[in-house]
Structure 1
Amino acid sequence: MQRVERESQCLLFICTGNYYRSRFAEGLFNHLASQEGLPWWAYSRGLNINWIIDNTQISPFTEGALVGRGIDLVHTGSRRMPLSRMDLHGADRVIALKRDEHHPMLAHQFPGWEERVEYWTVHDVDFATPEVALPEIEALVGGLIDELRPKMA
């Protein structure tokens, strides 16, 4: 697959349902990158978007956290999206939100990609409340923005 030259680089956030953690990371990153004028754009995908029973497209925790921080929802996708090989190949950097959860899913669905992905350790609502998990994502995204910010000589 030939890489197309583009003005910005792409960052892919992966979680299970593309409903809560990855969507918050995506929205926050795009908002901050835009404010900083960084040549990066993020998108998010899920490894099992069908496990969420209801038809809502974004977690109320994510929506509330973004809006509460003054971040417009245009900075995150309009609906949950499944991960595809094209998504993986199109990204310049790929981050999954929790190694223990996502490494085996990647190995099963996209063999060979499980070791090419960076992993964070942000628990889903079964192990951490949004009051704990969302600030963790915020700190990690902030560190990522710092890393990608051009260094002043």
Structure 2
Amino acid sequence: MRRVLFICTGNYYRSRFAEAVFNHAATARNLDIRAFSRGLATWLVYGEALISVNTVEALAKMQIPLTHTGERPVQLSEEDLNSADLVIALKEKEHRPMMETQFPAWSDKIVYWHVHDIDFAEPALALPEIHEKVSLLLNTLTIKPTTEMAKNA
């Protein structure tokens, strides 16, 4: 089974939403591909709930069960990167510097989207943008799985 890895800062909000939307749609389409998500700085959400209330509410409105995302924030590891067929970080300006510091060999090998975190974009704007990008990604992956196509999502 092919695997897509979504990365954000805390693995608490954006990446978990992308993971759930992706897995729900892939399951509904009976595709042999699944997503998982990780964070580059999960310690920033330590002591918070296990997932953002904004993510929970948006998924509930879409009738997507929380079982389509991980149980809690998980810190990104080299093993995660190696096990993924496609790696997508949710915001280049935010995540490229973190990748260059933590995983320099990977910083130019992954796809970067441009979805703002909650400090720059309200969930009402950011989450539909992620949903649209995930939908486009799934459509391209069912045709031909390439990194170039993911960049265009």
SS of residue matched to 1:149: helix
Alignment match, 1:134: 127
1:65-80 to structure 2, matched below 5 A, reads 65-80=58-73
**2: distance between equivalents of 1:40 and 1:108?**
29
**1: distance between equivalents of 2:45 and 2:109?**
27
Matched, 1:57 2:50: yes
**1: distance between equivalents of 2:77 and 2:101?**
13
Name segments (4+ residues, structure 1) moved above 2 Å. none
TM-score by length of 1: 0.91
Match of 2:136 among 119, 126, 143: 143
1:23-53 Cα deviation digits (max 9, x unpaired):
0000000000000111101000000001125
The structure richer in helix per residue is 2
* Structure with the greater alpha carbon radius of gyration: 1
How many residue pairs were aligned?
144
Unaligned runs of 5+ in 1: 1-7
**1: distance between equivalents of 2:122 and 2:20?**
19
For 1:77, the aligned partner's letter is G
1:113-146 Cα deviation digits (max 9, x unpaired):
1100101000001100000000000000010111
Alignment match, 1:84: 77
Match of 2:117 among 120, 124, 127: 124
For 2:137, the aligned partner's letter is L
Match of 1:20 among 4, 9, 13: 13
Unaligned runs of 5+ in 2: 145-153
**2: distance between equivalents of 1:150 and 1:119?**
21
CA RMSD of aligned residues (A): 1.0
CA contact (8 A) 1:38 1:148 kept: no
For 2:124, the aligned partner's letter is E
Match of 1:32 among 9, 13, 25: 25
1:76-104 Cα deviation digits (max 9, x unpaired):
00010000000000000000000000000
**2: distance between equivalents of 1:111 and 1:122?**
22
TM-score by length of 2: 0.91
Shift of 1:55: 3.2
**2: distance between equivalents of 1:145 and 1:109?**
28
